[in-house]
Amino acid sequence: MRPELGVVETPGLKGNDTGPLPMVIGVTGHRDLAPEDIPRIQASLAALFACLRRQYPHTPLRLLSPLAEGADRLVAKVALEHGAELVVPLPMPEAEYRKDFQDTHSEFDALKAQASIIYTLPRPVEAANDDTDLSGPRRDACYENVGLHIVKHSQLLVALWDGMPAADRGGTAQIVEFALSRSWDTASPLHFSHDFTWDKAVWHLLIPRLNSHSDQNAETVSLYYTAVWRFSDERARDVPFTAADRAWPKFQFEWLHSVEVFNSEAISLSPRRIQESRDTLLPPSVNSKTIDPSERIVRVFAAADLISQKYQKTTYKLWKWIFVLAGAMILSFESYTHLWPHGLLLLAYPAAFIAMTIAYSVLNRRRLDDRFIDARVLAEALRVAIYWRLAGIRESIIDQYLGRHIAAIGWLPNSILGLLTLPLPDIEFARRDGLRIADQFWVDRQLGYYERQSTRQGRRVTLYRRFAGSLYGLTLVFSVFVAIYGVIVTRPSFLRDMLISLMASGPAIAALWIAYAEKQGWEKHVKEYARNAALFARAHTLIANSGTSHAPATFPHVQRVLLELGKEAICENAEWAVLHRVKPPAIPIG
């Protein structure tokens, strides 16, 4: 007997209770499900979606399903009932795809009508010529391609699978194996060389196929069960999946917590500020659906941009106070030792130390530095993705990151991939308006930003160098003066004690000031800002010189300029993240 599965009610959530950044769930499964098994499968799926909604109430769910017969459509129906967004990647042109389910067109159309995004994948290499024939191996290659696309762009893969080894190319077993192995490069033309697969998982529901209900095969898959595997994990190992009770299993992945925190913060942002951030990105005449039919990319960018600004201000203030308080500790100790051995000065040292520790604890425990870096990286990556799409550029921003970048930005690559489930860019729009908008709102504005920041940070570097140099110089003068004064005047005096105190404090204050400047990365930022300002200025000149006409001859040239500019912007931002991740926050006391 198969165990009964209780149906769990989904907590009622309104649309505005969820943020913009989705958890993306892919589906793979058999087409030939037995009718008598469907209620049990639906109950298991309902428990899964209800579990995710309860544990991560502010994170929207996005389902990737090609809507093939059987598992694809069943999971889509249950997901829609639980408030998930449906995205439909088609393995081949729709007219050709429909030939595989000629008796169920109405069911396909009904589900497709509820999708927020529908797009057809480019043909894989084996079927990439202009021949319209998609039979045999070419058709199998298209199904394999869509399966790999779903694996790549989802964070959780739902597999309705009987557990049997792969028999057909592009079938359920093969897609699960791709998800659980490291055979990306050899099995697929997709660029998936980065090792960030730990942020993904497979949820396997063991189910029988229709033909397994015959008497001779009945014992093969006699029980339902579920399992959760991390991508690339050994399947015999313990995995982060526990059950608080039968109805509510818990998915204990750190990346899901990060997504939930981001969405909970995004919800708290005012619509006015979101609109203001959006207005810095696009002119009012451009509909966000031109970039993304679901408008999620623009919404996530606006939220990430505002969140990064918020944490930038907070972290910079806290670090400033931490270093100020460290300086106060040095001055209070030296003053007590050499000038005024009063209890108040002695009390000031632990008071400043406690205040500094509290500030550091707030910074560290709330991961303010990490949240600032995450939001900044997410915003800058999506900024490039948006303008690339406006310019008709098909390159993936994820492919531009190096291995050390992926390690530094953690959960973000998979979340970005989940947003890039989109149709190809509109080339006609790019020729007509996209290049002009990208130049005006991206190239020109970023040029102004880098020029301002280069000048501002340059002044800071000059100031901190002069300040540190002055302290060291004064310390040397004080040291010589104290030595001479000590020879001439042998008895203790207030002037000598004050000079000794300044002589002892000067190098410490200077070192503290230099440490603060290094923590902020001022010198490195000046070089990067100056380089980027020159880069964007050159790009702006090249685009302006290409002429105002949208002649086809100039279009590829401008695209190449924007492509290279985007690559530079992504790498610069990732290097900034690496710089700030390498040196974790620490109290500035030896």
DSSP conformation letters of 248-286: -EEE--HHHHHHHHHHHHHHTS-HHHHHHHHHTTS-TTS
pTM to 2 decimal places: 0.81
- Within a domain: 590: no
> Which pLDDT tens digit goes with each residue over 192-229?
444 544 567 888 888 888 776 544 343 333 333 445 55
pLDDT at 528: 82
Token pair for 271: 């619509």
CB atoms within 10 A of CB 210: 15
Q: Are 469 and 506 in contact (CB under 8 A)?
A: no
- Do 257 and 279 belong to one domain? no
Q: Which residue has the higher pLDDT, 59 or 313?
A: 59
- Do 243 and 279 belong to one domain? no
Where among 261, 282, 313 does a domain terminate?
261
pLDDT at 5: 32
226: alpha, beta or left, given left = phi > 0 and alpha = psi -120 to 50? beta
Question: In Å, how far are 383, 523, 571 from 406, measured between CA atoms?
Answer: 18, 24, 11
Q: Is pLDDT of 504 > 70?
A: no
Q: Are 174 and 168 in contact (CB under 8 A)?
A: yes
- Do 354 and 446 belong to one domain? yes
Where among 226, 261, 296 does a domain terminate?
261
Q: Are 89 and 66 in contact (CB under 8 A)?
A: yes
- Within a domain: 75: yes
- Within a domain: 10: no
Measured on CA atoms in the order 244, 247, 253, 255, is the torsion positive or negative?
negative
pLDDT at 410: 83
Residue 396 CB partners (closer than 8 Å, separation 6+):
191, 420
DSSP string, 28-52: EE-S-B-GGGHHHHHHHHHHHHHHH
Give residue for tokens 């791709």.
Answer: 178
Q: Are 134 and 105 in contact (CB under 8 A)?
A: no
Longest dimension (CA), the chain: 111
- Do 366 and 223 belong to one domain? no
Q: How many domains does the chain have?
A: 2
Residue 214 CB partners (closer than 8 Å, separation 6+):
none
- Do 295 and 215 belong to one domain? no
Residue 184 CB partners (closer than 8 Å, separation 6+):
148, 178, 190, 192, 193
Report the first-to-last Cα separation within the chain, whole angstroms: 67
Lowest mean pLDDT among 145-159, 204-218, 366-380: 204-218
Which H or E element spans position 98?
none
- Do 65 and 212 belong to one domain? yes
- Within a domain: 393: yes
Where among 232, 261, 290 does a domain terminate?
261
Question: What is the SS3 assignment for 227?
Answer: strand
- Do 421 and 363 belong to one domain? yes
- Within a domain: 268: no
Give residue for tokens 């390159």.
Answer: 395
Token pair for 434: 């996209």
- Do 224 and 337 belong to one domain? no
Q: Are 46 and 7 in contact (CB under 8 A)?
A: yes
Question: What is the SS3 assignment for 513?
Answer: helix
Q: Is pLDDT of 553 > 80?
A: no
Domain range for 460 is 274-582
d(CA 536, CA 376): 20
d(CA 590, CA 582): 19
- Do 256 and 295 belong to one domain? no
Which residues sit opposite 129 in a β-bridge?
Answer: none
Residue 159 CB partners (closer than 8 Å, separation 6+):
27, 28, 29, 172, 175, 176, 179, 202, 203, 204, 205
- Within a domain: 391: yes
pLDDT at 171: 84
Q: Are 111 and 86 in contact (CB under 8 A)?
A: yes
d(CA 413, CA 400): 11
d(CA 527, CA 267): 36
The fraction of the chain above a pLDDT of 90, given in percent, is 35
Q: Which amino acid is at 271?
A: P
> Which pLDDT tens digit goes with each residue over 468-502?
777 777 777 767 776 776 667 666 666 666 666 76
Q: Are 520 and 580 in contact (CB under 8 A)?
A: no
- Within a domain: 4: no
pLDDT at 229: 54
pLDDT at 438: 93
Name the burial class of residue 243, with classes exposed (0-12), middle (13-18) and buried (19+) by CB atoms within 10 angstroms of its CB.
exposed
Q: Are 137 and 169 in contact (CB under 8 A)?
A: yes
- Within a domain: 392: yes
Q: Are 565 and 443 in contact (CB under 8 A)?
A: yes
- Do 402 and 361 belong to one domain? yes
> Please, how many CA atoms are within 13 Å of residue 381, restricted to the half-sphere of its CB?
30
- Do 29 and 66 belong to one domain? yes
- Do 364 and 509 belong to one domain? yes
Q: Which amino acid is at 355?
A: A
pLDDT at 12: 38
Lowest mean pLDDT among 21-30, 330-339, 447-456, 555-564: 330-339
Q: Are 203 and 51 in contact (CB under 8 A)?
A: no
8: alpha, beta or left, given left = phi > 0 and alpha = psi -120 to 50? beta
Pairing state of beta strands 156-161 and 117-120?
unpaired
